[in-house]
Amino acid sequence: MAADEQAPAEIPSIQVATPAEPPPAPADADAEDDDDDEEDDDEVDPAESGLDDAVLGAAEAALAAAEAEDAAEARGEDAEEVPIVLEPEPEPTPDERALHAPHVRPSGEPAEIDPDELDPDALKVVLRLHQHGHQAYMVGGCVRDLLLGRKPKDFDIATSATPNEVRGIFRNCRLIGRRFRLAHVYFKGGKIIEVSTFRANPTELEHAANGGEDEGDGEDLLITHDNVFGTAQQDARRRDFTINGLFYDVAEGRVIDYVRGRRDLDERFIRTIGDPEVRMREDPVRILRAVRFAAKLGLDIESRTYAAMEGAVEDLPRCAPARLLEETFRLIRGGVSAPALKLLDALDALKILLPPVNAYLKQHGKEGEKTFYAFAESLDRRVSAGEALDDAILLAMLLIPISRSTGPEESQEGRPSVSQVVEDLLAGFVQSARLPRRIAERCRMLLLAQRTLSGERRRRSAAFKRHPLFSEALTVFEMTVEATGENREQLEAWKAGEVPQPRAAAADGEESDAGGQRKRRRRRRRRRPSANGSSGESADSSSESGDA
């Protein structure tokens, strides 16, 4: 939690194996794929081609190029190089063995948090810092979750030691961060314990330097620097919400509450620390964090805090796009995308975070809301069940309703394309929000694949089963079936290893009901030239003219 609020978050990179080249099609592939002469007459519109033999090579090349560009950018990150092999921790000294987390406080009362619920590696970091004469507490979300009876996702530590001092104490440590240096202590299995130095709120320090007087209502409170060390109390007060400002003293077995966070936990409220108007103007990303905590923990947002969130929505564009995108992804990854997005819609924040989603909801009204949130709830069920889903899958599930409602288009390069609003959104995320290109490209391909899986695209469907993204596309298709109740027969056929029959609407060339797909156009047959060198069409025209 120490780095969640101010340090810029990097969107996690997802390693994707470079797809193998598809096997060459047999010489008689066209004969095998053509059901009858009438199908051979159907024109294959590039915008309708889905993911089949015609575009497999181009799709794989696009993925490979996206991965190469992401790797080139990653080499320029501002962080110390991670050692390939971390040095093992030395054996504990006799004094260190004596340090422990007591089950009973000095007053004789039981510890406020059972030491058995604490992460043993985080406990080791705290006790080692104590041994070297530093203050160190477990902080933020882990304390909040333990007091709520929930299992923390991770354990963060705040200390009086500077980042360099932390690195000097732990051999298995490296420093990260641009705006604020953080220490990552590594343990077996890739576990990371994040250690931050106590910080002070720069706005409060400037306010105190001015003699406690504000400079005026027009003052720009947006925090652009946060490199000021402080005390434990200052560190608690500079955090966003009272429920995140709780510290746990392991040695004494007690919760340290400088901000009345225990009261708000008991009352199940989310409340800012200090004036909500000021805190939201300092960092409008706190709007998304409040929404995430409300949806994840089932808490209510205190009225003044909610009013300040409404007023600060217009300041969201001033925040770093990468931070906005990462916080949006956290909402989706947490298995609470449906309630979180409903709250963001009520705050009128979707127009900034996900403009196509906002436009879709406004255009389609109640029916559009029902459809969109059915997709979000289907996604939430999978995430809550513990299924690990790629970021491309998460994003694709939220964009499918938009893609279905607008239909496919053809890009200027002539390759198959999803709707232009979706293409623009993905391109904007890559250019301004540092979304890895491979995630954007995979998302686009997953959206295109749904037409092949649903049977709207009927030619060469068997080729798609060889594509590296087939299993992920099928996962998205399965969630789509759960959300809409449509195409169950096609889903069962794909899962059984078969290629389903094309849908009747597609076979008849009729327009699809599920998103206004365009009619198939008939390909005009070429006429053989006549003996006098003129085309058959010209001869027919002359004949018609003569008859007239």
Chain centroid to CA 220: 30
Rounded to 5 degrees, what are φ and ψ at 42?
-65, 135
User: Does the structure show a pLDDT above 90 at 297?
Assistant: yes
Neighbouring residues of 66: CB distance < 8 A, sequence distance ≥ 6: 436, 437, 438, 440, 441
Q: Which residue has the higher pLDDT, 202 or 301?
A: 301
Numbers of helices and strands, H then E, in the chain:
25, 11
SS3 string, 114-156, reads: CHHHCCHHHHHHHHHHHHCCCCEEEECHHHHHHHCCCCCCCCE
Per the CB < 8 A criterion, the answer to whether 433 and 325 are in contact is: yes
Residue 413 lies in a domain: no
User: Does the structure show a pLDDT above 90 at 304?
Assistant: yes
Strands (E), 343-410: 409-410
Strand-strand pairing, 182-186 and 136-139: unpaired
Average pLDDT of the residues in 390-395:
94
Check whether residue 183 and residue 304 sit in a common domain.
no
Per the CB < 8 A criterion, the answer to whether 1 and 141 are in contact is: yes
Check whether residue 239 and residue 329 sit in a common domain.
no
Chain centroid to CA 211: 43
Average pLDDT of the residues in 125-152:
95
Q: What is the pLDDT of residue 96?
A: 52
Cα gap 375→395, rounded to integer Å: 11
Average pLDDT of the residues in 178-187:
87
Residue 180 lies in a domain: yes
Per the CB < 8 A criterion, the answer to whether 137 and 250 are in contact is: yes
Give whole-number Cα distances, 495 to 104, 423, 509, in Å: 56, 29, 26
Token code pair at residue 177: 């961060």
Per the CB < 8 A criterion, the answer to whether 409 and 45 are in contact is: no
Q: What is the pLDDT of residue 528?
A: 58
pLDDT of 222-237, one tens digit each? 655 556 889 999 999 9
**Domain range for residue 230?**
107-207+222-267
Q: What is the pLDDT of residue 504?
A: 57
If one counts every other C-beta atom within 10 angstroms of the C-beta of residue 83, the result is 12
Cα gap 118→133, rounded to integer Å: 22
Dihedral sign for Cα atoms in the order 388, 148, 8, 340: positive
| Number of compact structural domains in the chain | 3
| Cα three-residue angle 55-57-61, rounded to 5 degrees | 115
Rounded to 5 degrees, what are φ and ψ at 98?
-75, -20
Residue 462 lies in a domain: yes
CATH code of residue 298 = 1.10.110.30
Q: What is the pLDDT of residue 20?
A: 42
Q: What is the DSSP string of 313-329?
A: GGGGGGS-HHHHHHHHH
User: Does the structure show a pLDDT above 50 at 24?
Assistant: no
Confidence of residue 43 (pLDDT cuts 50, 70, 90): very low
User: Does the structure show a pLDDT above 50 at 539?
Assistant: no
Residue 41 lies in a domain: no
Cα gap 456→520, rounded to integer Å: 10
Cα gap 4→267, rounded to integer Å: 24
Range of lowest pLDDT (15-19, 153-157, 350-354, 484-488)? 15-19
Cα gap 333→327, rounded to integer Å: 10
User: Does the structure show a pLDDT above 80 at 189?
Assistant: yes
Q: What is the DSSP string of 217-263?
A: TT----------B--HHHHHHTSSBGGG-EEEETTTTEEEESS-HHH
Q: What is the pLDDT of residue 1?
A: 41
Check whether residue 172 and residue 129 sit in a common domain.
yes
Per the CB < 8 A criterion, the answer to whether 294 and 325 are in contact is: no
Check whether residue 243 and residue 125 sit in a common domain.
yes
Cα gap 194→136, rounded to integer Å: 12
Element containing residue 65 per DSSP (H, E):
helix 53-74
Rounded to 5 degrees, what are φ and ψ at 312?
-90, -5
Q: What is the pLDDT of residue 498?
A: 83
CATH code of residue 449 = 1.10.3090.10
Q: What is the DSSP string of 437-481?
A: HHHHHHHHHHHHHHHHHHTSS-TTHHHHTTSTTHHHHHHHHHHHH
Check whether residue 287 and residue 378 sit in a common domain.
no
Check whether residue 133 and residue 257 sit in a common domain.
yes
Cα gap 286→306, rounded to integer Å: 11
Residue 1 lies in a domain: no
Residue 214 lies in a domain: no
In the three-class reduction of DSSP (H, G, I as helix; E, B as strand; rest coil), residue 301 is classed as strand
Check whether residue 381 and residue 485 sit in a common domain.
yes
Token code pair at residue 233: 């109390």
Range of lowest pLDDT (185-189, 371-375, 407-411)? 407-411
Q: With CA atoms as reference, report the closest residue to 55 among 355, 449, 353, 381.
A: 449
Check whether residue 237 and residue 334 sit in a common domain.
no
Confidence of residue 180 (pLDDT cuts 50, 70, 90): confident
Per the CB < 8 A criterion, the answer to whether 410 and 416 are in contact is: yes
| Cα three-residue angle 416-419-420, rounded to 5 degrees | 100
Confidence of residue 45 (pLDDT cuts 50, 70, 90): very low
User: Does the structure show a pLDDT above 80 at 188?
Assistant: yes
Q: With CA atoms as reference, report the closest residue to 201 among 259, 138, 257, 260.
A: 259
If one counts every other C-beta atom within 10 angstroms of the C-beta of residue 212, the result is 7
Check whether residue 335 and residue 368 sit in a common domain.
no
Residue 14 lies in a domain: no
Residues taking part in catalysis? 154, 156, 240
Per the CB < 8 A criterion, the answer to whether 139 and 247 are in contact is: yes
Per the CB < 8 A criterion, the answer to whether 243 and 144 are in contact is: yes
Q: With CA atoms as reference, report the closest residue to 165 among 137, 129, 127, 123.
A: 129
Computed over every residue of the chain, the mean pLDDT equals 77
Cα gap 207→73, rounded to integer Å: 39
pLDDT of 53-83, one tens digit each? 445 555 666 666 666 666 655 555 444 444 4
Q: Which residue has the higher pLDDT, 512 or 443?
A: 443
Average pLDDT of the residues in 486-510:
75
Token code pair at residue 3: 């780095």
Q: What is the pLDDT of residue 107?
A: 84
Integer Rg of the chain from CA: 29
Check whether residue 341 and residue 240 sit in a common domain.
no
Give whole-number Cα distances, 470 to 118, 127, 531, in Å: 41, 49, 51
Check whether residue 320 and residue 365 sit in a common domain.
no
Q: Which residue has the higher pLDDT, 526 or 433?
A: 433
Strands (E), 75-223: 136-139, 156-159, 173-176, 182-186, 192-197
CATH code of residue 184 = 3.30.460.10
Residue 100 lies in a domain: no
Check whether residue 437 and residue 478 sit in a common domain.
yes
Cα gap 115→124, rounded to integer Å: 12
Average pLDDT of the residues in 117-129:
94
- β-bridge mates for residue 192, sequence order: 186
